[in-house]
């Protein structure tokens, strides 16, 4: 499974749609381990672009601090799950918490 997390200064970027890069983490669901991490530059901001762009990278889950309703709907239409309200932590910590079932989501930091 591949998880995408928007990143700024090594931690989750709360400004999902305007982030500069994404950490793409390949995880082994059976062993609950992170297999690899690849950071990629985000494309220029364009409404509706990220769901297709991340889908083309075989992402199955996005962990974010916040996301607008339209973006969430576009991800869901591509069968990409979304977790919003995650804290600003390292991608590895967030992915491992998801794998362990302990990722606490809070308030959607961007609900517009």
Q: Is 96 helix (H, G, I), strand (E, B) or coil?
A: helix
The per-residue pLDDT for 77 is 95
pLDDT per position as a tens digit, 82-103: 999 999 999 999 999 999 999 9
As for how many domains the chain has, the answer is 1
pLDDT per position as a tens digit, 38-54: 999 999 888 889 999 99
Domain-embedded: residue 112? no
Per-residue 3-state assignment (H helix, E strand, C coil) for 1-27: CEEEEEEECCEECCCHHHCCEEEEEEE
Domain-embedded: residue 50? yes
d(CA 37, CA 104): 22
What is the average pLDDT score of the chain? Answer: 91
The per-residue pLDDT for 110 is 57
CATH of the domain at 21: 3.30.420.130
Which pLDDT band, with edges at 50, 70 and 90, does 112 fall under?
Answer: very low
| Structural domain range at position 67 | 2-100
Domain-embedded: residue 91? yes
Domain-embedded: residue 110? no
Specify the pTM.
Answer: 0.92
Domain-embedded: residue 109? no
**In the chain, what percentage of residues exceed pLDDT 90?**
76
Domain-embedded: residue 96? yes
Domain-embedded: residue 111? no
d(CA 111, CA 102): 23
The per-residue pLDDT for 1 is 97
């Amino acid at each position: 499974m591949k998880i995408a997390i928007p990143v700024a200064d090594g931690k989750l970027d709360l400004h999902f749609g305007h982030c500069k890069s994404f950490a793409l983490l390949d995880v082994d669901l059976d062993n609950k381990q992170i297999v690899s991490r690849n950071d990629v530059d985000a494309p220029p901001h364009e409404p509706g672009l990220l769901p297709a762009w991340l889908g083309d990278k075989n992402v199955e889950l996005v962990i974010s601090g916040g996301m607008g309703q339209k973006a969430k709907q576009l991800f869901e239409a591509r069968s990409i799950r979304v977790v919003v309200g995650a804290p600003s932590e390292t991608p590895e910590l967030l992915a491992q918490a998801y794998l362990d079932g302990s990722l606490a989501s809070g308030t959607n930091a961007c609900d517009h």
